[in-house]
């Protein structure tokens, strides 16, 4: 189910515009993947309301959003032409050797930042008597329970960080833009299913803006002297999810995927067999 959703949209439809595959399914190697069809605002609704603001006057970026990151190929998904991502020779060679089935995410490991799938995500603002102190970036399905914490209290990146899947993020407002600076990554996650690598020298700066009611834009600068010949800028766009998804709200649903486990295995579900879906195992 986890891999199915990503593949169905990346190859059979466009979830950022709400366009599914023709029959809602994708067939890869004899396995049928089902398009989950998360609804987003229609084109004629994008400017249907003014951009909302938080009580402190800043633009409300909370969401829930759909899309806004890389899936199959960060170079293409980020708006670059083929060959424009300035990978060093070793990094390009490694990317070209990798196979999507070896993606750490297929073993329920975190995706890391800048990846997404057809399920919604939100920015959750945490306020205290001192004002906005934290922003939590939460995904319904993307990173198997791992969330990003953006510290908004003026702190700096600490010295001697332990490398991690999502790094250490500090944020600030620049007018109506939220700027998030992240360092301290490990080198384990892939940027995309294609296998685009990075090193622990990776530095990501994101600039989130909301140009209209239904769109969130993330302008991203990647700097990684270990894997990139020079810094590069990408752009990702998310669409606001319609508030009519089953429960009538934008709440994120629960998903559990333990390391090296298979979704639904505890209930007897085996992909491609029908077992666990009211049918006898084949």
Q: Can you say how many angstroms the Cα of residue 43 is from the centroid of all Cα atoms in its chain?
A: 22
Q: Distance between CA atoms of 120 and 23, rounded to whole angstroms? A: 22
Query: Is 0.75 topped by the overall pTM?
Result: yes
Q: Which pLDDT does position 40 carry in this prediction? A: 85
Average pLDDT of the segment spanning 191-203: 95
Read out DSSP for 242-278? PTTSTTTS-PPPP----TT--TTGGGT--TTT-BTTT
Q: Where are the beta strands (DSSP E) in the chain?
A: 25-28, 31-34, 65-67, 121-128, 131-139, 148-151, 168-174, 177-183, 203-212, 215-223, 232-240
Q: CB pairs under 8 A, 24+ apart, for 265-271?
A: 271/1, 271/4, 271/31
Evaluate if residue 30 carries a pLDDT over 60: no
User: Contact, 116 vs 72, CB < 8 A?
Assistant: no
Residue 8 or 111, more confident: 111
3-state secondary structure of 101: helix
Evaluate if residue 270 carries a pLDDT over 70: no
Core vs surface per residue 226-249: b (16+ CB within 10 A) or e: ebbeeebebebbbbbbbeebeeee
Q: Which pLDDT does position 39 carry in this prediction? A: 80
Q: Tokens 């329920």 label which residue?
A: 108
Cα dihedral sign for 219, 167, 149, 113?
positive
Average pLDDT of the segment spanning 83-102: 94
Q: Which pLDDT does position 273 carry in this prediction? A: 52
Beta bridge partners of 185: 164
Evaluate if residue 110 carries a pLDDT over 80: yes
Confidence of residue 33 (pLDDT cuts 50, 70, 90): very low
Q: What is the 3-state secondary structure (H, E, C) of 66-95?
A: EECCECCCHHHHCCCCCCCCCECHHHHHHH
Pull the structure tokens for residue 54. 């938080």
Q: Distance between CA atoms of 191 and 211, rounded to whole angstroms? A: 26
Q: Which pLDDT does position 9 carry in this prediction? A: 33
Residue extents of the structural domains in the chain: 40-252
Beta bridge partners of 1: none
Evaluate if residue 148 carries a pLDDT over 50: yes
Q: Which pLDDT does position 1 carry in this prediction? A: 36
Beta bridge partners of 179: 172, 207
């Amino acid at each position: 189910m986890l891999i199915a959703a990503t593949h169905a949209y990346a190859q059979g439809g466009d979830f950022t515009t709400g366009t599914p595959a023709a029959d809602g399914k994708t067939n890869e190697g004899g396995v049928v993947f089902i398009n989950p069809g998360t609804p987003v605002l229609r084109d004629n609704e994008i400017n249907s309301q003014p951009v909302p603001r938080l009580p402190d006057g800043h633009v409300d970026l909370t969401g829930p959003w759909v899309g806004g990151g890389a899936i199959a190929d960060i170079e293409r998904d980020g708006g670059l032409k083929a060959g424009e991502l300035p990978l060093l020779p070793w990094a390009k060679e490694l990317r070209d050797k990798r196979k999507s089935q070896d993606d750490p995410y297929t073993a329920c490991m975190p995706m890391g930042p800048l990846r997404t799938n057809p399920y919604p995500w939100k920015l959750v603002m945490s306020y205290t008597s001192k004002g906005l102190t934290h922003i939590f970036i939460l995904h319904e399905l993307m990173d198997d329970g791992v969330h990003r914490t953006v510290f908004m209290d003026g702190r700096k990146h600490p010295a001697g960080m332990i490398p991690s899947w999502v790094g250490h993020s500090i944020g600030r407002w620049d007018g109506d833009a939220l700027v998030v600076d992240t360092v301290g990554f490990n080198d384990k996650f892939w940027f995309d299913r294609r296998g685009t690598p990075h090193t622990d020298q990776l530095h990501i700066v994101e600039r989130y803006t909301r140009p209209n009611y239904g769109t969130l834009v993330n302008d991203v600068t990647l700097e990684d002297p270990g894997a990139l010949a020079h810094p590069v800028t990408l752009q990702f766009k998310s669409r606001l999810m319609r508030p009519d998804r089953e429960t009538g709200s934008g709440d994120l649903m629960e998903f559990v995927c333990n390391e090296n486990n298979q979704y639904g295995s505890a209930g007897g579900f085996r992909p491609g067999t029908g077992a666990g879906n009211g049918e006898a195992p084949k």
